[in-house]
């Protein structure tokens, strides 16, 4: 056990977050995301039983967001014609605002298939049990 480290961050996840360098990206994926097929060239970390919001909050306690890009947080855009509602995005923006003074201004969206292509280049993908749709979030690491 370590003091000041959220207990939801497993030793494996902490190791990955520490290994990542400036501009490396990590995906926190919802339960529908094809983590294993997208993560063939990345590390896939299983966080079954957890949702994206609690992991996002814990990660941002130890993970600096990139200040050299305008939108270091990327969400998967809702497909045209899909009437999906994304209230979880508001939750993400609240969490981000607790940890980064830029708040919601750090958040952008990426078209669904472009998001998949970017996810393939991520350093790691965290597979969660999140049930909300369009709940995937990609973080780009900054410097301390």
Q: Of residues 22, 68, 82, 90, which has the active-site annotation?
A: 22
Question: Does 30 participate in catalysis according to the annotation?
Answer: no
| DSSP letter, residue 49 | T
Q: Say if residues 88 and 28 touch (Cβ distance below 8 Å).
A: no
Q: Of residues 30, 57, 66, 100, which has the active-site annotation?
A: 66
List the one residue out of 22, 14, 4 whose CA is nearest residue 47.
14
66 token code pair = 């990139």
Q: Of residues 24, 99, 105, 116, which has the active-site annotation?
A: 116
Question: Does 99 participate in catalysis according to the annotation?
Answer: no
Q: According to the 3-state scheme, what is the secondary structure of 69-137?
A: CCCCEEEECCCCCCCCCCHHHHHHHHHHHHHCCCHHHHEEEECHHHHHHHHHCCCEEEEECCCCCCCCE
Question: Does 66 participate in catalysis according to the annotation?
Answer: yes
Q: Which residues are catalytic?
A: 22, 66, 116
């Amino acid at each position: 056990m370590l003091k000041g480290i959220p207990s939801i961050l497993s030793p494996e996840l902490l190791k990955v977050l520490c290994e990542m360098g400036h501009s490396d990206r990590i995906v926190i994926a919802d339960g529908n995301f094809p983590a294993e097929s997208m993560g063939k060239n990345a590390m896939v970390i299983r966080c079954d039983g957890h949702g994206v919001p609690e992991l996002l909050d814990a990660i941002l306690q130890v993970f600096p967001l990139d200040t050299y890009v305008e939108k270091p947080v990327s969400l998967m855009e809702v497909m045209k014609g899909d009437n999906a509602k994304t209230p979880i995005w508001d939750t993400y923006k609240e969490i981000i605002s607790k940890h980064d003074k830029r708040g919601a201004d750090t958040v952008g969206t990426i078209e669904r298939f472009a998001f998949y292509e970017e996810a393939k280049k991520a350093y790691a993908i965290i597979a969660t049990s999140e049930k909300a749709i369009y709940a995937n979030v990609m973080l780009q690491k900054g410097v301390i």
